[in-house]
Amino acid sequence: MSSASIRAAAARVVAAVATEGRTLEDAFAQLGLPAPDRPAVQSLAWGCVRGYLRLQALFALMADRPGRRVDPEVISLVLLGLHQLEEGRTPPHAAVAETVEAARLMGHARATGFINALLRRFQRERATLVESLPAGLATRLGYPAWLVERVESDWPARAESILAAGNQHPPMWLRVNRQRIDPCDYAARLAAAGHEALPWASAPEALRLVRPVDVAELPGFAEGEVSVQDAAAQLAARLLSPPIGARVLDACAAPGGKACHLLELAGNGIDLLALDIDPQRCRRVEDNFARLGLQGRVSAGDLLNPGAWWDGRHFDSILLDVPCSGSGVIRRHPDIKLLRRPGDLEGLAARQRNMLRAAWSMLRTGGRLLYATCSMFRVENQAVLSAFLAATPDAVESSESARLRIPGQLPAVAGPDPGFNLLPGEADTDGFYYACLERRA
């Protein structure tokens, strides 16, 4: 693909997210691009969506077309050009000329003069235009106002750092399969292949690549020696720590990273059922089990309708990684800024409460449940757990003792409320919340 074709493809992805409400992954997959062209298109589209709201504010300052509708693809092209001009990795003349050419390729030849004029004006007046943007974190960091207000309310002393972390390019973390190779030995294999990787003491199987690469370049990937998984997500297996022989439920398993890690650490010595409501996503879990040589069971089913899949035998350990707002993984999924709405949170919290009650009914006395989200919002985390503990006499929080199973100095944030957070970017990881419960007689 030419540079202009790459921009055209990225503009289509951005427009689909902004106007059709599609996720970046879905819009990108619909393009059906050949493998060599995917990284460039993906980098452009994800970068533009990451800064979309700020770039849109700049566009509004310059467009000055009251009452005239601008085609969403044209807007996306302008925002892509502004993104490249601000990022500075592309020579300015190329950022302008190739964006104009992309408009022609997309059938927007009549808009080329408009696009050219806006981008050249931004080159000339950049400092003045940036100073004219509305003040405040929302515009400066490119977030919807409601999301900024929620983070400021929940994390008043850390709000700006949390939001800034969400704008960073995410690193590529690996999880080494101890059933196939020792993490130190795998790090040496990476080094021999020219890939520098750094460990993290709190997640002994984790390695962070200094430079992200395609999984095809990872030695032993096809053979099951390694998987891609953020280090914060790798904490779940050790926090739950099911004993050998335990009957384990991963209640929202797809794509299967945490279930695989549990089986790897146990050497396939646990009876694990990976459950997910989506049959297609269940196939991804099965594929991961097969690649890694793991012996887990997979079932498509709804946790809230156990009669369709549960045999009635209680579980010793349950991992409940509930669907959530994803506010802790915005750096990986920047479309959350455009797709999530403030009204979503109460609906998510209600479902989370229902799922927690359902999972608890399947846990044996003496068993352990780990509740997890990749959210930073207390309504999905501490509020859910506090209400559940108040209404459930046989539930005892054991998050603090569970943390002792994590080696190293974990930069966790805990308070008087249940569970603890790992904030986005604190250890160059995603943001997560964990709470461990035990069922007492």
Give catalytic residues, as residue numbers: 374
Other Cβ atoms closer than 10 A to 33: 18
Residue 352 identity (one-letter amino acid): Q
Nearest residue to 434 via CA among 203, 265, 236 = 236
CA angle 406, 411, 412 (to 5 degrees): 80
Residues 6+ apart with CB under 8 A from 93: none
Contact (CB, 8 A) for 376 and 327:
yes
